[in-house]
Amino acid sequence: MIDANIKIIKDLKSFLKLSKEKRLFTKDEKAFTKDRKLPYDRTVAVIINMLKRSLSIEIDEFFDVLNSGICCSKSAFVQQRLKLLHDFFKMWNVVQVESFYLNYKDKIKRWKGYRVMAVDGSTSYLINTPEVVDYFGVQTNQSTAIAMGRIMGIYDVLNEITVVSHLLPIKFSEQEVVNSWIPHYESDMLFLYDRGFPSYTTIYLHMAQEKAINFVMRCRKNFNPVVIEFVAGKAKSKIVEFAPSEEAIKELRKHGYIVTKQTKIEVRLVKVLLDTGETEILITNLLNEKLYQTALFKKIYFMRWGIETNYDTQKNIMQLEAFSGHKVETILQDYYATMFIANLQSIISKQCELIITLRTEHCKHKYKINRNVAIGTMKHRIVKLFLNRRPREVLKELEKIFLRHIEPIRSDRKYLRSNKLRRLNGKYQTFTNYKRAI
């Protein structure tokens, strides 16, 4: 798979070169016109190098890695990065995702022909400055107001790729964002949603596209009268009809659809028995009960957990909320650079999968790369990946390091969630079995 990764890196370097020449993502036409210590591509490389410590130390180490014999001040870097729009990193990740699906082709993992996409939201604590508060807004409680952003993402759970991810003002609701995304979904995708997302509007929008978009949604047991009746009955799977409420009719009109009280949609309700003994209710438009047997839905819905572990990786391993700047633009740069690196690490790891399988075929468990270590070892090496002319050497070096740090997948392990009390003062805390890698 290293050849596919070489092609992906080539596509990414081509986009970097094009945007540099055209200055597509700069604040003005004069930005980056002079050949200085931090030209366009070098500024990009600094930002994606996971800046989590003092900027002065990060910049010194960056130039040491380049072995260029020069350096620059923290102030010079801050001035240069503010000439670059965060949209570059957002678009660079789009190029990366598209190149991944193009170059991996038949190696893309699917479930019954579908790429399985988990959709969910999260939040990010931000820096309490007037500019940040004005742009992102605040989350309030009885005693304080904290600057906070809304994270929304679509995650390919089988291929471990973040397909879409945005950091938005907190005022945007998760359902509002998802409804705006649906017209851009692709028909070979199957979408998984938690119970905060189901509504007549959202379901209708999935089914009203030129080719219906398939979904599985967990819903509350009192979601509507039809679901309440299904919960009380003995059937484990049933095809039913939902009618719109007045609110749904008004909401769909905003999206350009005219529906009435008689506009009913046909969906399937499925009961899933959890290991805890609790029963969950799923709504889906996978209506064919022979092709999509009821027993399959527990496994397919459990795949949604992948986006939860992905958020855990971003916030804890990649230290997403440790921003390297206090301005809105620098926060957005850091966020989208983090998404880019997370995907890049996942893509590079794929060239190790076959080797791991062959090395561990005699073992009791399957094995995977330790992602914390893998991301940590990418620091500084990703600089070489994009700034030198021999990406194959860097990829092979990363492959060797990744393969030295593998761990067993113990799929039957289950842990109850526990809310542990933590002290609120002090910057550094000790966590069981966890140490920072960047």
* Token pair listed for 188: 């070979």
**φ and ψ at 26, to 5 degrees?**
-110, 160
How many CB atoms within 10 Å of residue 134?
Answer: 12
Residues 211, 221: contact at Cβ < 8 Å? no
What pLDDT, on a 0 to 100 scale, did the predictor assign at position 412?
61
Nearest by Cα to 120 from 354, 285, 324, 312: 312
Q: How many residues does the chain have?
A: 438
How many CB atoms within 10 Å of residue 325?
Answer: 19
Provide the pLDDT confidence category of residue 67 given band limits of 50, 70 and 90: confident
* Token pair listed for 160: 């471990």
Q: Rounded to whole angstroms, what are the CA distances from 104 to 154, 245, 357? A: 19, 44, 18
What pLDDT, on a 0 to 100 scale, did the predictor assign at position 88?
97
Q: What is the pLDDT of residues 321-376, one digit of tens each?
A: 999 999 999 999 999 999 999 999 999 999 999 999 999 989 988 999 999 999 99
What pLDDT, on a 0 to 100 scale, did the predictor assign at position 427?
65
Mean pLDDT of 218-232: 96
Give 22 or 184, the one with higher predicted confidence: 184
Whether the per-residue pLDDT at 85 is higher than 80: the answer is: yes
Distance CA 49, CA 68 (A): 17
Whether the per-residue pLDDT at 171 is higher than 60: the answer is: yes
What pLDDT, on a 0 to 100 scale, did the predictor assign at position 226?
97
CA angle 361, 365, 370 (to 5 degrees): 100
Provide the pLDDT confidence category of residue 144 given band limits of 50, 70 and 90: confident
Nearest by Cα to 175 from 247, 123, 120: 120
How many Cα atoms are found within 13 Å in the side-chain-facing hemisphere of 49?
A: 25
Q: How high does pLDDT run on average in the chain?
A: 93
Which parts of 157-286 fold into alpha helices (H)? 174-181, 200-207, 225-232, 246-254
Residues 138, 169: contact at Cβ < 8 Å? no
Residues 438, 376: contact at Cβ < 8 Å? yes
Q: What is the pTM of this model?
A: 0.94
In the chain, the amino acid numbered 167 is L
Residues 144-165 as b or e (16 or more Cβ within 10 Å = b): eeebbbbbbbbbbbbbbbbbbb
Distance CA 18, CA 80 (A): 19
Residues 385, 395: contact at Cβ < 8 Å? yes
The alpha carbon of residue 169 and the mean position of all alpha carbons in its chain are separated, in whole angstroms, by 17
Whether the per-residue pLDDT at 421 is higher than 70: the answer is: no
The alpha carbon of residue 254 and the mean position of all alpha carbons in its chain are separated, in whole angstroms, by 28
